[in-house]
Structure 1
Amino acid sequence: MPFAVGVIETYGFPAMLAVADAMVKAGRVTIVKYEQADSGRQFVCIRGPVSEVKRAVEAGLIVGSDLPNEGCVTTHYIVPNPPENLEVVLPIDFTEASEEFWIEEIRDNRLPGF
């Protein structure tokens, strides 16, 4: 099953929290990284099947565009089928905690194609 990486950057933590919440509720994705960047910018990185990541990022952008003055989405990007060298260099690979999530999904046959 082809996997993708999706990243949304926001200004402010409340905006990042709202975006992350919308993404994990909209698709079968897992958060693999979140961090504070420069001057109050936050980013959240998700992984999952390509179609699920696309749906999750779209949901995050919708929520991010409806936020009041607490924050906003500054940018986003989706990488379908990232090559191995990208996964080795950038912090976009599944973590030990997120691996447990996917193992449970596969074991319980909740992911299509398994």
Structure 2
Amino acid sequence: MKTYEAIGAIETFGLVFVLEAADAMCKAADVDLVGYENVASGYISVIVKGDVAACKTAVEVGVAAVEAMGEEVYSSVVIPSPHFDLGKIITRYSLENLLPE
């Protein structure tokens, strides 16, 4: 797995809101979209990676975008210098795993 300085994530309810968050995050900062996870009952998380400042900016802007649409963000996080083993979790939700070879 490629190493990076930070990861950022937002969890909200519904695909439309997470798409808005992901779009805002990627436009606002130099981050790469890692992927998403659609969990039970419609909760969806989106994950980005990049340097710490970019992830902080992306998460802040993503949260604001969801709230501007009238939805609640259930949780958000920026993890600077994530432990290498977090890659085991992140890889599971990577968009690269969804693309055909």
TM range (shorter): 0.7 to 0.9
Retained in 2: the 8 A contact 1:33–1:46?
Answer: yes
Question: Among 29, 32, 36, which residue is 1:30 paired with?
Answer: 32
> How many residue pairs were aligned?
93
Are 2:79 and 1:76 equivalent residues in the alignment? Answer: no
SS at match of 1:43: strand
Within 1, Cα distance between the matches of 2:15 and 2:79? 24
Superposition deviation, residue 92 in structure 1: 5.2
CA distances 1:44-98 after superposition (whole Å, capped 9, x unpaired): 0000011100011010011111113xx43211111101011222x31259x695x
Q: Which structure would you say has the larger Rg?
A: 1
Q: Which residue of 1 aligns with 2:6?
A: 4
- Pairing 1:78-93 to 2, within 5 Å after superposition: 78-87=78-87, 89-91=88-90
Percent identity over the alignment? Answer: 34
Does structure 2 retain, via aligned residues, the 8 Å contact 1:5–1:78?
yes
Structure 1 segments, 4+ long, off by >3 Å, are: none
Residue 15 of structure 1 aligns to a residue whose secondary structure is helix
Task: Classify the secondary structure of the residue corresponding to 2:82.
Answer: coil
Q: Is there any run of 5+ residues in structure 2 with no aligned partner, and where?
A: 97-101
Change (3 A) 1:20 1:35: same
Q: Structure 1: which 5+ residue stretches go unaligned? A: 98-114
CA distance in structure 1 between the aligned counterparts of 2:29 and 2:72, rounded to whole angstroms: 21
Change (3 A) 1:62 1:96: closer
Q: Cα RMSD over matched residues? A: 2.1
